[in-house]
Amino acid sequence: MPTDSAELVVLDTDPGIGPGLDADDPLALLLILASPELDLRGVTTVFGNVPVERSTESALRVLEAAGRQDVPVARGMSVPLNGRLHDESIAEYAKQHQRIGPVDADRVERGRVAEHGVDFLIRTVLENPDQVRIIAVGPLTNVATAILKEPAFAPKVKAITIMGGAFGFDTEFGRGNITPSAEYNIWHDPEAAKIVFESGIPLTACGLDVTNPNKGTVLTEDQLLALVSEETAFTAFLHQMCKTYIDEPRFTWTAGQNSCILYDPVAVGSVIDPSLVRTRRTPVRVETRGEYTSGQTIADLRSGADSHIDVAVDVDGPRFVELFVKRLTALRDATSA
Ligand code: RIB
Ligand code: CA
Answer whether 22 contacts ligand 1 (Cβ < 6 A): yes
| Nearby residues of 181 by Cβ (< 8 Å), 6 or more positions away | 166, 175, 287, 290, 292, 293, 295, 296
In a domain, 215, yes or no: yes
Cβ atoms of 325 and 33 within 8 Å: the answer is no
> Looking at the predicted structure, is the pLDDT value of residue 257 above 80?
no
Q: How many helices (H) and strands (E) does the chain have?
A: 13, 13
Q: Quick one: average pLDDT of 314-337?
A: 96
- Mean pLDDT of the residues in the chain: 94
For 12, the domain range is: 7-336
- The 10s digit of each residue's pLDDT in 148-168 is 999 999 999 999 999 999 999
Using CA atoms, how far apart are residues 27 and 33, in angstroms rounded to an integer?
Answer: 10
In a domain, 285, yes or no: yes
Rg for the chain, CA atoms, rounded: 18
* Pocket residue to mutate for ligand 1, from 21, 24, 178, 242, most atoms within 8 A of Cβ: 24
Chain mean position to CA 336: 26
Answer whether 92 contacts ligand 1 (Cβ < 6 A): no
CATH number (domain holding residue 158)? 3.90.245.10
Using CA atoms, how far apart are residues 23 and 122, in angstroms rounded to an integer?
Answer: 28
Residue with the bigger pLDDT between 253 and 194: it is 194
In a domain, 2, yes or no: no
Atom of ligand 1 nearest to the CA of 163: 6
Answer whether 136 contacts ligand 1 (Cβ < 6 A): no
Q: Which of 118, 141, 267, 149 is nearest to 196 (CA)?
A: 141
> Looking at the predicted structure, is the pLDDT value of residue 255 above 60?
no
- The 10s digit of each residue's pLDDT in 79-135 is 999 999 999 999 999 998 877 777 788 888 999 999 999 999 999 999 999 999 999
**Beta strand pairing status for 132-136 and 259-261?**
unpaired
- The 10s digit of each residue's pLDDT in 174-185 is 899 999 999 999
Distance 260 CA to ligand 2 centre (A): 13
> Looking at the predicted structure, is the pLDDT value of residue 256 above 70?
no
Distance 5 CA to ligand 1 centre (A): 30
Answer whether 209 contacts ligand 1 (Cβ < 6 A): no
In a domain, 158, yes or no: yes
Name the pLDDT band for 304 (thresholds 50, 70, 90). low
Q: Which of 273, 263, 276, 272 is nearest to 319 (CA)?
A: 276
Amino acid at 111: G
In a domain, 244, yes or no: yes
> Looking at the predicted structure, is the pLDDT value of residue 329 above 70?
yes
**Ligand 1 atom 4 nearest Cα:** 184
Handedness of CA 275, 277, 282, 283 (dihedral sign): negative
Residue with the bigger pLDDT between 87 and 244: it is 87
In a domain, 1, yes or no: no
In a domain, 203, yes or no: yes
Eight-state DSSP code of residue 102: S
- The 10s digit of each residue's pLDDT in 197-238 is 999 999 999 999 999 989 999 999 999 999 999 999 999 999
Count of domains forming the chain: 1
Distance 15 CA to ligand 1 centre (A): 9
pLDDT for the residue numbered 249: 75
